[in-house]
Structure 1
Amino acid sequence: MAASSQAVPPQAAAAAPPGRSAPPAGGSARPARRPVRLRWWLGLLAIVFGAWFLDRPRKIEARVDRAIALGAECKLGEAQGELIALRGGGATAEQLQRLQQSLNESSVECERKEQRAKAWRTTVDAVGSALGKDSIAWARERLQSFVRKWGEDGETRRVDAEIAAARDRQKAEAAQVDKERSDCMAKGGTWIGNSCWSGVD
């Protein structure tokens, strides 16, 4: 009796090769990740560049304002350095002209401030010397000479108050001496060298 042959199922013939597991039954393979297209990268780059391009003028204007502020504080070296940097850093001709004009004005004003400070130191020394010698009139004259040329401020008013106080003190001392002399003479004494002497012929 011949042996009966069985047909091989199609699934067995299509079995997965050794070493590779078959995908689970009923599962679906994950779709491949699509690469980012070049146009998206170009779009992102355009956005970044646009933001930088719009923000750059504001930064330059801020640097111009800072240089002007430095000049007003008489930090002319730093301000001049910023001007040189801005000339090669994209500042407009109008911005450079405005900054240069401001620095020129600050230079003149700072020179005047320096001269005034020097004259003030000389005046303070002269006033102090005059007050030390009880020369109230000379102290006041030196102060008024300074004010006529350089103007009045808090420091000049302070020194003027010191001169006024010294003058009042001098007047009070003179009035006290006059009173003591009058009392001395009323008692029959002799007034010599700001002192009362009794029994002096």
Structure 2
Amino acid sequence: MPEPKPKPEPVAVAAAPAAMAWGSRPAPATVASKHQRGPVRLRWWLLLLAVVIGLWVWDKPRRIEARIERALALGAECQLNEAQAELIELRSTRASPEQLQRLQQGLDKASAVCERRQQRAKAWRGTEIAVDQAIDSASFIKAQQRLQGFVRKWGEDSATRSLKEKITAARIAWQNSDAGKLEKEKAECLARNGRWLLGSCW
């Protein structure tokens, strides 16, 4: 008796994907991760080094010029030793001959100005002493002449004008004093060809 044939098993039907909701967007596709960056190539290091060297070479003349201006400023302030030391150091740098010559000429000019300034200060101290002595002895004309001699040689400034006012004020104060009035009477007596004896005109 023939064996009964087995019944075929029911094939499972794959479930259909759920319908996409109305208005929804599909999920973005997964982006593949980038490869890690490799080491910086040698040419980029060389390029960076060239840029740094270029900036250094470009900035060096500017630094030299700044040092020259600083040395000139020191010379103008009569700090000549410091200015000369800066000049000596600049000679060992890449400063151009024109720059060194300009600095040397500037320092020579500053040296002459500073020397004249010192001479004027010395002459002024002597003038002040002489004028004060003349005022103390009531020699106002002598005091005025000494001051005028200084002004002719060295020029006028606020100090000379102040000393001139001092002479004028001292003269007025002396003329209003008893000694000044007596001296005025004596001068008038002599102008009339009189004789001044014992504080009186004869």
Question: Normalising by structure 2, what TM-score?
Answer: 0.70
Q: How big is the shift at 1:32?
A: 5.3
Given the alignment of the two structures, is residue 129 of structure 1 paired with residue 133 of structure 2, yes or no? yes
Which residue matches 1:110?
Answer: 114
Q: Deviations over 1:44-88 (max 9, x none)?
A: 111111111111111111111111111111110010001011111
Given the alignment of the two structures, is residue 164 of structure 1 paired with residue 168 of structure 2, yes or no? yes
| Cα distance in 1 for residues equivalent to 2:181 and 2:173 | 12
5+ unaligned residues in a row in structure 1: which ranges? 1-27, 182-191, 195-201
Q: Secondary structure at the match of 2:177?
A: helix
| Cα distance in 2 for residues equivalent to 1:177 and 1:139 | 20
Which residue matches 2:8?
Answer: none
Taking the TM superposition and a 5 Å limit, the aligned residue runs for 1:1-201 are 31=35, 33-173=37-177, 177=181
Question: Normalising by structure 1, what TM-score?
Answer: 0.71
| Cα distance in 1 for residues equivalent to 2:107 and 2:181 | 60
| Seq. identity, % | 55
Q: How big is the shift at 1:171?
A: 2.5
Q: Secondary structure at the match of 2:126?
A: helix
Q: How big is the shift at 1:158?
A: 0.7
Q: How big is the shift at 1:121?
A: 0.4
Instruction: Give the structure with higher Rg (CA).
Output: 2
| Cα distance in 1 for residues equivalent to 2:52 and 2:91 | 25
Maintained 8 Å contact 2:147/2:164: yes
| Cα distance in 1 for residues equivalent to 2:178 and 2:199 | 13
- RMSD of the alignment, in Å? 2.6
Divergent runs of 4+, >3 A: 28-33, 174-178
| Cα distance in 2 for residues equivalent to 1:154 and 1:81 | 35
Which residue matches 1:14?
Answer: none
Q: How big is the shift at 1:134?
A: 1.3
| Cα distance in 1 for residues equivalent to 2:128 and 2:180 | 30
Q: How big is the shift at 1:172?
A: 2.6
5+ unaligned residues in a row in structure 2: which ranges? 1-31, 186-197
For this pair of structures, how many residues does the alignment match?
Answer: 158
Call closer, same or farther: CA 1:155–1:29 in 2, change over 3 Å.
closer
Q: How big is the shift at 1:89?
A: 1.5
